[in-house]
Amino acid sequence: MTAEPPQGFWGVAGLQGPRRAPVPDEPFRVTPWEVEGVVDYARLIKEFGVDALTPDVLERLKKSAGGELHHMLRRGYFISHRDLKWVLDEYDKKNPFFLYTGRGPSGPIHLGHLVPWILTQWLQEKFDVDVYFQLTDDEKFLFNDDLTLEDTAKWTVENALDFLALGYKPGKTHIIWDTKHAGVMYPQAIRVAKKLTYSTAKAVFGFEPSSNVGEIFYTSMQSVPAFLPSVLKGKNIPCLVPMGIDQDPHFRIARDILPKLGYLKPAALHSKLLPGLTSPGTTKMSASDPNSAIYTNETPKQVRAKVMKYAFSGGQATTAEHRKLGGNPEVDASYRWLSLFERDDRRMEKVAEDYRSGKLLSGELKQMFVDHINAFLEKHRERREALRPKLDEFMLKV
């Protein structure tokens, strides 16, 4: 039996905060299904009751990971956590954790979806732990009037391949398909549901009288993978969930209920809500705006056309002005997304320096990003199709 993680804050977090660059007290909204306004992360961290991912915590993770830190962690794309230090303490005591992440299969995968999965794959590699990947086809069917179960089944397969193509280990990676694994999921979900009141669900998620009963029940299903391995193995195993911070409300509920069922609270590692191509850093990349996102199924020609036409530039209006005044990489979409996929810190520092000085033009920076991401996507698609006939090998076996 493992030690309980420290008792942290749990409660109904406010979902209001700032807009634009962020201005104090201006409203924003963050829920698992939508993000509105410009997120003030310092305020969101406080309102969600999570802990900032401080340099000392990152150093602790680096030490446990063998002296390395993923570039997304070094560059601040992950900003907060719940009980990360406790999970690492347990690991050092020879009580390894498992990783849990997932996807609601409603359409093709874009680069923003890959960010927590890339870090999850790195954590699996560094700590040699099991990963449970939940595909919530039930969620997408319940929350989207335009999707049929046949639609969500199609996207479940396609999204699973995008996830696996990032390099997850066979034998230590387990895909949970909610409707296909209902036999093992539902008995545990109703145990959670019995402890979850409608008033709590309404307060956390903002349900209305018009919300269907499936929507209200759904968070019970999303809680299950956080303790299912403990059920299957007959002992409590720590769980770490890398996710976008917008998904945290589900796990605040899980952290409150699971100890009542005799299981450990899931720990969490939160990423920022990453802005899209068309934004200077203030609007989340969204599947509802196809021009704001790059998808894994787009051709090199489509990627180049989209970046060249729509990617927000931090450069000047003319070449002459840019040579004289330089550009701002902090708001440039191509630089921002290149920094997510280019591991070399020195290269990124050189790109930023050349852009600020005016030596590197906006069009050249866009082409640099296009070349890098198209090379990544070409390899990704090859791995994806090679895995298609092997998909069943990764499905959870119970």
Identify whether residues 97 and 167 lie together within a single domain. Answer: yes
User: Tens digit of pLDDT for each residue in 240-283?
Assistant: 999 988 888 889 999 999 999 999 999 999 998 888 898 776 55
Of 136, 159, 160, nearest to 149 by C-alpha is: 136
One domain for residues 375 and 343? yes
Residue 397 lies in a domain: no
Q: What is the CATH number of the domain that holds 340?
A: 1.10.240.10
Do the domain assignments include residue 189? yes
Task: Say if residue 143 is in the same domain as residue 112.
Answer: yes
Q: Are 85 and 118 part of one and the same domain?
A: yes
- Domain membership of residue 21 (yes or no) is yes
Query: For the stretch 201-235, what's the b/e string if a residue is b when 16 or more beta carbons lie within 10 angstroms of its beta carbon?
Result: beebbeeeeeeeeebbbbbbbbbbbbbbbbbeeee
In a domain, 28, yes or no: yes
Furthest-apart CA pair in the chain: how many Å? 68
**22 and 104: one domain?**
no
266 and 321 share one domain: no
- 3-state DSSP helix/strand/coil % of the chain, to nearest 5: 50, 10, 35
Please check whether residue 141 is in contact with residue 156, taking contact to mean a CB–CB distance below 8 angstroms: no
Cβ neighbors of 359 (< 8 A, separation 6 or more) are none
Q: With respect to residue 232, please indicate whether it lies within any of the assigned structural domains.
A: yes
Residues 6+ apart with CB under 8 A from 27: 16, 17, 18, 19, 37
Bridge partners of 176?
134
DSSP state of 309: H
220, 134 in Cβ contact below 8 A? no
Q: Which pLDDT does position 247 carry in this prediction?
A: 85
- Out of 274, 304, 331, a domain closes at 274
* Residues 68 and 173 placed together within one structural domain of the fold: yes
**Per-residue model confidence (pLDDT) at position 15:** 23
Q: Which two structure tokens, joined as six digits, stand for 349?
A: 């520092």
Query: Is residue 281 domain-resident?
Result: no
Q: Give the pTM.
A: 0.90
pLDDT at residue number 17: 26
Residue 2 lies in a domain: no
Domain shared by 328 and 360, yes or no: yes
Which of 223, 242, 274 delimits the end of a domain?
274
Q: Print the domain residue range for 71.
A: 50-274
Measured between alpha carbons, how far is residue 389 from residues 161, 181, 364, 393 in Å? 10, 20, 40, 9
| CB-neighbour burial class of residue 95 (10 A; exposed 0-12, middle 13-18, buried 19+) | middle
Q: How far apart are CA 351 and CA 335, in angstroms?
A: 8
Burial of 163 (0-12, 13-18, 19+ CB in 10 A): buried
In this prediction, residue 126 carries a pLDDT of 97
Q: Are residues 104 and 199 in the same domain?
A: yes
Place of tokens 């298609």: 388
Contact of 57 with 85, CB cutoff 8 Å: yes
Residues 254 and 109 both lie in one domain = yes
Domain of 181, CATH number, reads 3.40.50.620
One domain, residues 128 and 261: yes
Mean pLDDT (10-residue bins), the chain, 398 residues? 32 26 58 68 86 96 96 94 97 96 95 95 98 97 96 98 98 98 98 96 90 95 97 97 88 95 97 84 65 94 96 95 96 94 96 97 98 98 98 96
Same-domain check for residues 343 and 249: no
Q: Which two tokens stand for residue 381?
A: 């698609």
Looking at the structure of the chain, the number of domains it has is 3
Out of 249, 274, 299, a domain closes at: 274
